């Protein structure tokens, strides 16, 4: 990698490996970004297979001072540490968010729980929480069958944007292929057009 190269972190969350709109659009966006900057590095994290949910032992380890953690506690946080390091090292995020039952998939929520850690990706100040991952660009690719992105029944896009902002990532572009049950071909074409536009402007 050159001194000017960037790292792209692609997060896939769709349970579908084939025929997934978020996977297709995310792959297309990453391909176009890399085509423009071949020296960039791509990290792919597919959370669809599932991540362990937080439990009492994880919380206990997280709230133990790093210098005082036992080997068992360090191991308990090892995956979370890896996910945070992937996020910290990335300059660009491409996150595929299929809307399941009006919200994000449970597997993506698990990823969020692992990366949203005080003293690692945010800190508390007298003025409130402060994100520690500033200076990154995020593309959030949303797909839904019937839920309109940004509507009162969409509890996914606003949540993702809030979480990203909470950890310091405020430069977020939303690409939506929503309400695919109505006219999938036209919605796909429109979303692909938006992917091309944002990639050309990157």
Beta strand pairing status for 122-125 and 128-131? antiparallel
Backbone angles phi, psi at 174, to 5 degrees: -100, 130
Full DSSP string of 23-45? HHHHHHHHHHHHHH-TT-EEEEE
Cβ distance 97 to 164 under 8 Å?
Answer: no
**Which tokens in the block code for residue 121?**
């990706």
Could you report how far apart the first and last alpha carbons of the chain are, in Å?
19
CA distance 49 to 71: 27
Distance from C-alpha of 146 to C-alpha of 60, rounded to nearest angstrom:
40
Residues 6+ apart with CB under 8 A from 91: 6, 7, 8, 135, 136, 137
> Is 14 marked as binding a ligand?
yes
Residues placed in the known binding site for FMN: 14
Residues placed in the known binding site: 14
């Amino acid at each position: 990698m050159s001194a000017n190269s960037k790292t792209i972190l692609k997060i896939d969350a769709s349970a579908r490996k084939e025929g997934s709109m978020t996977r297709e659009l995310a792959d297309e966006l990453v391909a176009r970004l890399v085509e423009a900057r071949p020296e960039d590095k791509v990290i792919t994290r597919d959370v669809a297979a599932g991540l362990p949910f937080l439990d009492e032992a994880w919380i206990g380890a997280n709230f133990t001072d790093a210098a005082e953690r036992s080997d068992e506690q360090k191991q308990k946080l090892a995956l979370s540490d890896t996910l945070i390091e992937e996020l910290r090292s990335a300059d660009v995020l491409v996150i595929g968010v299929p809307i399941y039952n009006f919200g994000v998939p449970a597997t993506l929520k698990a990823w969020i729980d692992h990366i949203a850690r005080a003293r690692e990706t945010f800190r508390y100040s007298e003025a409130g929480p402060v994100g520690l991952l500033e200076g990154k660009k995020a593309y959030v690719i949303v797909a839904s069958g019937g839920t309109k992105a940004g509507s009162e029944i969409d509890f996914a896009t606003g949540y993702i944007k809030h979480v990203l902002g909470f950890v310091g990532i405020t430069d977020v572009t939303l690409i939506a292929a929503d309400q695919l049950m109505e006219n999938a071909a036209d919605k796909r074409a429109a979303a692909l057009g938006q992917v091309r536009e944002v990639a050309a402007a990157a």
